[in-house]
Structure 1
Amino acid sequence: MRRRKKPEKQKKGAPVWMVTYSDLVTLILVFFILLFSMSQIDMIKFKALSEAFSKHAIFDSNSSIIPLDEPPDSTENNDNQERDKESHSLDSLITEVQSYLELNGLEDVIVANKTERGVVLVLQEQVLFETGEAELIDDSFPFLDKLGEMLAAMPNLIKVEGHTDSRPISNYRYPSNWELSTARSSSVIRYLSENHDINNRRFTAIGFGDTRPIAANDNPENWEKNRRVEIIIADPEYTEEVTEEAS
């Protein structure tokens, strides 16, 4: 009589291939979920997190930042350098002019002052003109010749200004102090340019009439002070700028 075969015991659980497949599907699903979550940034949470880090000074206890002094304003430094350079140029110019005036015995006739415009030479009326006239007197020629020699040796621009007192003038040649002051500055320039090697382009003639007094127009002494011609030897720095622009 044949023995009966015992039935094979079936293994419990899913087949092996199905477990492997499900694991693979699960991993793929997790992977895509992760990608999706990374692409969706919660801006509110992100902002809150940023503010939390900024409020709490994590590195305050061991700060390695060294405070630095504020650097000096470069614009201010440049301005100071320009002023120093300008002052040096004007100092050299006024020294040269005063030395020349003293050497040629002109310090009692011509007063030299340093201003922002340059060196200003002041010649009183009695050195150059008769009262109320714009024609140079003969006694002015020696002074102007020495002055012309000095100006010819310099490259600076030259401005000649005529000034009068406040007393009105009215004649057929000079209807007012404006015409008289302008005619006087023009006479000085004409003499210097015709008798000395000075380029006419360096000159500017201006008449201010009685609008720029240096003393109160209330007595004969002050009237005499206000009747004058001023020769401005321009600041060398200004002269260089104009020369460069012209070239």
Structure 2
Amino acid sequence: MKRREGRKNVKKGAPKWMVTYSDMVTLILVFFILLFSMSQIDAAKFEAISESFKNRMIFDFFPSPVPMDNPTENTSTEEKGQTTNEFDMPVNDDKKSDSDTAEDSLSNLMDEVEAYLDEHSLNHVISANRSERGVELVLQDSILFDSGEADILPSAHPFLTKVGNLLSQINNDIKVEGHTDDVPMSSYRYPSNWELSGARASSVVRLLVEENNLDEDRFSIAGYSDTKPLVPNDSASNRSKNRRVEIVILEESYKES
């Protein structure tokens, strides 16, 4: 009897060299994927972030780890129509904000008004103050009107013209307020202090607008009668202080409550 031949063990699967080859192909694929992903970097943001890091004090003595040369085409944020935040674009401290510019304008106006009052010795009838509302010019009624009237006296025109010239140089809104004392008012034209205070505020606005060609939309008026006295109405001197017109050049950020 013939001896049965044993089966030969046949090795199955990929050759050993295939494993190494597969690893190499995989690594190459990953490498090209990384190259592709880097090629999609937003050029504007990449440059802005790099500049932001360079401007931080912590890196003052070290070179920026982010290269300035961009692998992609340079594209400015203006061309893309994109806006940036503080991190995207470094803040330029040298440039003044709009609020700072408005603040300077009111400060200059305040200085010019005070200089005018000193030059013409009007401090006893006109005062200029700075408040949270803005610049407040308080004019006693004696310089503006005859008793019980709302027609502006000629002697008040030079100062109101000066105010109008200053207002033409800024864009702030203006509120003009009329105030009276607590002595009852009764006439054909002004049945009460309410009508008188409102008419006086209106007369001031009309002169400012007409003499200086100012935009009417900037103005508002209010007549408060005797409801907002500066001092108690207990003497002739105090009543004189309460009879006034206030011209308020409003802060741009101020909102009426």
Say yes or no: TM over 0.5: yes
d(CA) in 2 for partners of 1:226, 1:182: 15
Greater gyration radius: 1
Residue equivalent to 2:104: 92
Identify unmatched segments of 5+ residues in structure 2.
Answer: 1-96
Residue equivalent to 2:234: 218
RMSD over equivalenced CA pairs, Å: 2.3
TM-score normalized by structure 2? Answer: 0.56
1:147 corresponds to which letter in structure 2? V
Aligned CA distance change for structure 1 residues 194 and 172 (closer, same or farther; 3 Å): same
* More helix as a share of residues: 1
Aligned CA distance change for structure 1 residues 224 and 127 (closer, same or farther; 3 Å): same
Aligned CA distance change for structure 1 residues 213 and 93 (closer, same or farther; 3 Å): farther
Shift of 1:118: 1.4
d(CA) in 1 for partners of 2:131, 2:114: 20
d(CA) in 2 for partners of 1:174, 1:188: 17
Residue equivalent to 2:16: none
d(CA) in 2 for partners of 1:197, 1:164: 29
Residue equivalent to 1:206: 222
Shift of 1:113: 1.4
Contact kept in structure 2, 1:89 and 1:235, CA below 8 Å: no
Q: Secondary structure at the match of 2:190?
A: coil
Shift of 1:115: 1.6
1:220 corresponds to which letter in structure 2? A
d(CA) in 2 for partners of 1:86, 1:111: 28
Deviations 1:221-247 (A, max 9, x none): 0000000000110112349xxxxxxxx
Corresponding residue pairs, total? 155
TM-score normalized by structure 1? Answer: 0.58
2:209 corresponds to which letter in structure 1? S
Contact kept in structure 1, 2:105 and 2:170, CA below 8 Å: no
Deviations 1:16-57 (A, max 9, x none): xxxxxxxxxxxxxxxxxxxxxxxxxxxxxxxxxxxxxxxxxx
Residue equivalent to 1:103: 115
Which among 134, 137, 151 is matched to residue 118 of structure 1? 134
Shift of 1:205: 1.0
Residue equivalent to 1:182: 198
Q: Secondary structure at the match of 2:227?
A: coil
